[in-house]
Structure 1
Amino acid sequence: MEGLFFNIENGYIEALVRGYRSGLLTSSQYINLTQCDTLEDLKLQLSSTDYGNFMANVPSPLSTSTIQRKASDKLYDEFNYIRSQSTDSLAKFMDYITYGYMIDNVALMITGTIHERDRSEILDRCHPLGWFDTLPTLSVATDIESLYQTVLIDTPLAPYFYDCLSAEDLDDLNIEIIRNKLYKAYLEDFYKFSQTLPSPANEVMDRLLQFEGDKRAINITLNSIGTELTPEVKLEIFPQLGSLIPFHLELSRVEDSETLKGIVSNVGTYKDFFGSDDDKNLEDHFYQHEMNLCRDAFTQQFTISTIWSWVRSKEQEVRNITWIAECIAQNQKERINNYISVY
């Protein structure tokens, strides 16, 4: 019965997402891509996949950045089409997906402004899924209070700024702290919303967002080693999600990567993420684990969580294509197979 009602509201969207997912590159197609000698060959191989003629009007010579941009545009177009068809809880779910990109765009605009970079150049680097109408006006803000009152108060990010308004100076460190505070509030809010969704969507999103919380806690800890970030501030910006919550206090006091490795190894999921014998670095392990979670998500029926899983899988595919293109462009063919499996 639950499946019947799901299909009435969201059956078309789920079918659409599963159709998009079936267009992800297969293992044999990746093998064909890695055997290309030039970017023109890569373009030709991609044209025989679901990407089709996505670079039909792109003049030669090709560049890696052009391939990346065109592949990303295909994802954005498909996402926006799904979003245009969504209503009620699905529409809210897709809005939540965009909030993370909005936060990154805000941090990028503020950082670029304080370093006096060209505004049009910064806007070009902003993520399309995180665009909002007042984004270009962020360059007029000189402190966090004016930033909030003049620009962000009317955006979906406004509630997340509640704990950020005490920041005094917009320097690099404070901007990074603000970004992480925003992301913490966003993830916790997204998690709370996802748990109101019917099963199995709430169960799938629980696993995906719990992993996001752990990933951010590990990255914050690692990136803060040797900086002025205090344990108290770290505790404030660790998302209250994930298997590592019992170790947050210990993580906040970490001063070297070996201590971090010892703490994280207490959680079985992450015990091999540091210092393994393969060629993967920490980020690669994160990506691979996320792809495993996304694959598992598609084993469930009647759930909008497949949208999140498809977006993340497609983003990884774009990273894979970019990596292969860069290896070809730089004649580093010995490293070309170091991409992350999506299927």
Structure 2
Amino acid sequence: MEGIFFNGNNGYIEGIVRGYRSGLLTSAVYSNLTQCDTLEDLKLQLSATDYGNFLANVPGSLSTSIIAEKATQKLIEEFRYIRAQAVQPLSKFMDFITYAYMIDNVALLITGTLHERDTHELLERCHPLGWFESLPALCVATNVEELYNTVLIDTPLAPYFKDCLSAADLDDLNIEIIRNTLYRAYLEDFYAFCKNLSHPSNEIMTSLLEFEADRRVINISLNSFGTEITRDERLQLSPKFGKLYPSGTEALASADDIEQVRITVESVGDYKGFFDTSNNKSLEDHFYLREMELCRNAFTQQFTYSAIWAWVKAKEQEIRNITWIAECIAQNQKERIQNYISVF
């Protein structure tokens, strides 16, 4: 019965997304890509996949940045297509996905402006899924109150900004605090929204978002070493949910070194071995590996919005993989070309 109601509004979109998922690069394709000697060879190999002629009519010679840009453009076009077909509550769910890109764009622009970077270049680097009409006006904001009142008050980020107004000045530390404060409020709001979705969307999405929250808590703790950020400020920046919450979150807020962080993180079974570098994998690599595992599991269920989240995350990882392989080819670092993260 649940599936009947789900398919009425969302069955077509889930089918499209699962079709997109089947077009993700396989291990055999990755093997072929790693054998390429030039970027033109890479282009030829990718043309035989769902990427098709995405690199056709590229002016001048190929570069890693162009390949990454065109691959991202394909993801954006596919996302916007399915968003155009969505109705509530799926349309709101997909809007939530775009909020993370909006936050990154805000942080990128105000950081770049602070360091007097070229405005046109900054706007070009903004992620299209996080674009909103007043985004270019961020480049003229000089303090947090002005940033809010003239730019962000009419955007979906406005409700998340209420805890940022105490930071009067825009400097590198305050910008990072603003980014993490926005992410915390955003993740908590998204988590509450997903808990009210129908089964199994609620169960799978809360699990996926708990991982996102834990990843942010761990990074906040590690990045706070050597800064003026206090224990209470770390707690304030940390989402109030996740497998680490509450005792692990409190322990990480009080951690003084990496060893304390490691002990706290690896006390959670899902994160055992995340600080093991013996296999030449960094903590970030372990995060990506775990994320892809969760995404694979999300596709084992039907009648769920989580397939869209899982596809977006898997596609982003695929783009990172292609970019990594392309960069290894361009830099003639073939001995490192196998260091990509398997998607499916």
CA contact (8 A) 1:226 1:255 kept: no
Amino acid at match of 1:269: D
1:323 aligned residue: 324
Q: Distance in 2 between matches of 1:342 and 1:330?
A: 24
Paired with 1:171 and 1:277, the residues of 2 have a C-alpha distance of 37
- Do structure 1's residue 108 and structure 2's residue 143 form an aligned pair? no
2:119 paired residue number:
119
Q: Give the superposed CA RMSD.
A: 0.8
Within 2, Cα distance between the matches of 1:59 and 1:28?
Answer: 30
CA deviations on 1:8-36 (whole Å, 9 max, x unpaired) are 10010000000000000001000000000
Deviation at 1:124, TM superposition (A): 0.8
Shift of 1:138: 0.8
Report Cα offsets for 1:192-226 as digits up to 9, x if no partner.
00111100000110110000000000011111111
Query: Which residue type is aligned with residue 113 of structure 2?
Result: T
Within the alignment, does 1:256 sit opposite 2:257 as a pair? yes
Deviates more, 1:124-133 or 1:57-66: 57-66
Of residues 252-261 and 99-108 in structure 1, the stretch that sits farther from structure 2 once superposed is 252-261
State the AA in 2 paired with 1:172.
D
* Residues 1:267 and 2:268 aligned together: yes
Q: How do 1:112-261 and structure 2 match up within 5 A?
A: 112-245=112-245, 246-261=247-262
Shift of 1:275: 2.4
Per the alignment, residue 26 of structure 1 pairs with 26
For 1:230 and 1:237, locate their aligned partners in 2 and report how far apart those are by CA, in whole Å. 11
Where 1:341 maps in the other structure, the secondary structure is coil
The aligned residue for residue 342 of structure 2 is: 341
**Structure 1: stretches of 5+ with no match in the other structure:** none
**How high is the TM-score relative to the length of structure 2?**
0.98
1:49 and 1:242 map into 2 onto residues whose CA distance is 37
TM-score, scaled relative to structure 1: 0.99
Q: Quote the offset at 1:244 in angstroms.
A: 1.0
Task: Report 1:89-108 matches (<5 A).
Answer: 89-108=89-108
Letter in 2 for 1:254: A
- % same residue: 68
- 1:89 aligned partner, one-letter code: P
CA distance in 1, matches of 2:59, 2:236: 49
Count of aligned pairs: 343
Q: List runs of 5+ in structure 2 lacking aligned partners.
A: none
1:60 Cα deviation from its structure 2 partner: 4.1
Q: What SS does the aligned partner of 2:324 have?
A: helix
Letter in 2 for 1:268: G
Q: In 2, Cα distance between the equivalents of 1:64 and 1:157? A: 32
Aligned-partner residue type, residue 17 of structure 2: V
Q: Higher mean Cα deviation, 195-204 or 223-232?
A: 223-232
CA distance in 2, matches of 1:275, 1:25: 28
Q: Quick one: distance in 2 between partners of 1:261 and 1:98?
A: 32
* Aligned partner of residue 154 in structure 1, secondary structure: coil
User: Secondary structure at 2:267's aligned position in 1?
Assistant: coil
Post-superposition Cα deviations, 1:59-90, rounded to whole Å, max 9, x if no partner, equal: 34210001110111100000000111111101
Tell me what 1:57 maps to.
57
- Higher mean C-alpha deviation, range 245-254 or range 42-51: 245-254
The letter for the 2-side match of 1:41 is D
C-alpha displacement of 1:276: 3.9
Deviation digits for residues 99-133 of structure 1, max 9, x if unmatched? Answer: 00000101111111111111111101111110000
